[in-house]
Structure formats: structure tokens, C-alpha cells
């Protein structure tokens, strides 16, 4: 009996040592969500680290100044240049370095704590912020797929992108850029089925079918987004999120869609005469798709998708 207990103790000791010596490069892998509650945007921060020294910043990377799609005198033509959500990282001992492609610089953080479920990073650099993050895991196998998704982002008292887009599961995209975007007007593109599946997986991580129909932050003059999920030609779920008040996974899923146009190979589209007449659109007006609105944008893009 004594030998059996000694043998069990030896196994447990080895197991504990293996857990303690788990390499940081493995421990950091996965999705991390901020628990900073100082304001509504601080707790939306998040990262996902992959084995090939690639990480995803859930907010993405943006230029630190405005660009203009046309005249600098038109306040509705200014936009931030978007560099996507993924970049490079390096982890060694108690140091985490993240590369920002928007400014072509590395940001350095001190790793105060890294366990399988907690990451704490700090920095002394102005305008950069550390924080405490918790590991997130997801089971999405039982969450239903959707065939298409419609996304709309409204104007705000500022430079929010005004966008309507429809993405189908074959990768086809119809896009309307209204204001504060690089490409204003009506376009089509294709991102491929794999890219659609990645978008779908993000919304499944948010458990989209079980979310509230509407979220609203207690702030004013900010943008609202509306999302329609379509299955078998029917809208099976709609979500409105004013001021990014929804769960982190929801915001992380739709945030890149606002500026996806900057990553697309776009083809300009002309509105067929019969559809223009049906929606009472003046084709001679310069900004014919400036304020199509949430519901009209949906009806218009669905109708257009059946025609091309």
C-alpha cells in the first residue's frame, strides 16, 4: 500500500511540474477578452494568438489620420485607412511584442501574469494600454449555420462609416458605400467560401441566435448597426446594436465588416432601370445610395442579388 501511495505521489508531482513548465508560447494561444470596466470600449478589447506568431487584434488596425476618397472639402468623404485585424507577435520570457501594420511599429508589453486562463500585460508607453484578459473557449458545433448575412451601419455625429452589404455563403458580396468610406457607391465582389465561413464562425462564437434583438449604450451621437441573418431565403434573426453595447463576440464579429471594402477587389455596378424605378432611385443623383437606410438597403440588395 505504501508503495502504491508513493507511486501515485510521483505521478502527481510529474504532472504538476509539466503544468508549471508549460511553455508561454503554448499558454498564450487562443482567444482573450479584456475585463477592464473603466469604460464601455475598454472591455471590448481582445486578442487571439495563433501558433505561427500571428495574432488578431479584435478591433483591427487603423491609420492615425484621415484620408479622403474625393475632395478634402467634403466631410463625408473622409475615412480611416484599414489594415485588417491580423499581424505578427513575439513572446519571450516576460515580454510580449505586437506589430502594428498601420504605423509600422512594434508595441512592447511586460507580461505580469500568464496562466492558462489569465493574461495581464502592462506598458509605460503613452497612448498604449495594458490590461487583464481572460481566456475564452467556444463550442459552436450545435449553433446553426446561415446562408447569408446583411449588415448596415448608420451615420453618427462624426466620421462613422455608412455601409450596407450583403454577403452570401458562396462568397458573393453586394456593397453600398454611403459615407466615410474609401469606395462610395454600389459594388460587387467575392471573398470566397472560406472567408464567408470565417465570418460565420465569429457570429457563431457569439451564439447569435440566442442574443437579444437589440442592445443600446447609454451614450449619444454614435453609430448603430443592424444585422440580418438569412436561412432558406428567410430572415431568421435580426440584431440591432447601438454604440457597440452588445457582447464582445458580437462586436468582434461585425466590426471588421464596416471597412471590409478596403480589402476587396470591387467591381462598380450600375442599377438596372427596373430596380431603380421600383425603389424610386434617381440614377442621375450623385449620391444615389447615400442614405438608403437599414431596411431599404436590405430590400434593395436582396432584389439586386436576384437580378445578377
The whole-number pLDDT of residue 40 equals 61
- DSSP line for 151-206: EEE---SS---EEEEEEETTSEEEEEEEESSSS-EEEEEE--HHHHHHHHHHHHHT
The whole-number pLDDT of residue 3 equals 42
- Per-residue pLDDT 10s for the chain (308 aa) are 444 443 434 444 444 444 445 578 899 999 999 998 766 666 789 999 999 999 999 989 998 787 887 666 677 778 889 999 999 999 988 899 999 999 999 999 999 999 999 999 998 876 677 899 999 999 999 999 999 999 999 988 888 899 999 999 999 999 999 888 999 889 999 999 999 999 999 999 999 999 999 999 988 888 999 999 999 999 999 999 999 999 999 999 999 999 999 999 999 998 889 988 888 887 776 555 555 678 888 999 999 998 87
User: Grid coordinates 494561444 are at which residue?
Assistant: 29
The whole-number pLDDT of residue 19 equals 41
d(Cα 123, Cα 82) in Å, to the nearest integer?
A: 25
Q: Which domains does the chain have, with CATH numbers?
A: 18-136 (2.40.128.370), 148-305 (3.30.1560)
The whole-number pLDDT of residue 288 equals 55
CA–CA distances in Å: residue 271 to residues 298, 299, 307: 15, 14, 10
Amino acid at each position: 500500500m505504501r508503495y502504491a501511495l508513493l507511486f501515485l505521489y510521483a505521478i502527481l508531482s510529474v504532472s504538476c511540474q509539466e503544468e508549471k513548465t508549460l511553455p508561454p508560447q503554448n499558454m498564450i494561444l487562443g482567444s482573450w477578452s479584456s475585463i477592464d470596466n473603466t469604460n464601455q470600449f475598454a472591455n471590448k478589447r481582445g486578442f487571439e494568438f495563433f501558433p505561427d506568431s500571428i495574432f488578431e487584434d479584435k478591433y483591427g488596425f487603423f491609420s492615425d489620420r484621415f484620408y479622403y476618397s474625393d475632395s478634402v472639402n467634403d466631410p463625408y468623404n473622409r475615412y480611416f485607412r484599414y489594415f485588417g485585424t491580423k499581424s505578427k507577435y513575439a513572446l519571450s520570457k516576460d515580454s510580449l511584442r505586437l506589430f502594428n501594420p498601420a504605423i509600422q511599429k512594434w508595441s512592447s508589453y511586460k507580461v505580469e501574469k500568464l496562466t492558462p486562463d489569465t493574461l495581464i500585460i502592462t506598458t509605460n508607453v503613452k497612448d498604449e494600454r495594458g490590461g487583464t484578459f481572460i481566456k475564452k473557449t467556444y463550442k459552436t458545433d450545435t449553433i446553426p449555420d446561415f446562408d447569408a448575412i446583411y449588415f448596415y451601419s448608420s451615420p453618427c455625429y462624426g466620421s462613422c462609416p455608412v455601409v450596407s452589404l450583403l454577403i452570401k455563403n458562396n462568397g458573393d458580396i453586394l456593397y453600398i458605400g454611403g459615407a466615410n468610406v474609401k469606395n462610395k457607391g454600389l459594388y460587387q465582389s467575392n471573398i470566397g467560401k472560406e472567408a464567408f465561413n470565417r465570418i460565420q464562425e465569429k457570429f457563431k462564437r457569439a451564439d447569435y441566435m440566442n442574443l437579444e434583438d437589440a442592445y443600446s449604450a447609454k451614450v449619444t451621437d454614435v453609430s448603430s448597426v443592424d444585422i440580418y441573418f438569412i436561412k432558406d431565403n428567410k430572415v431568421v434573426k435580426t440584431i440591432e446594436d447601438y454604440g457597440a453595447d452588445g457582447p464582445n463576440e458580437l462586436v468582434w464579429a461585425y466590426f471588421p465588416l464596416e471597412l471590409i471594402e478596403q480589402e476587396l477587389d470591387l467591381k462598380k455596378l450600375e442599377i438596372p432601370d427596373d430596380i431603380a424605378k421600383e425603389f424610386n432611385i434617381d440614377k442621375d443623383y450623385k449620391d444615389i445610395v447615400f442614405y438608403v437606410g437599414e431596411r431599404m438597403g436590405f430590400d434593395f440588395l436582396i432584389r439586386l442579388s436576384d437580378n445578377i
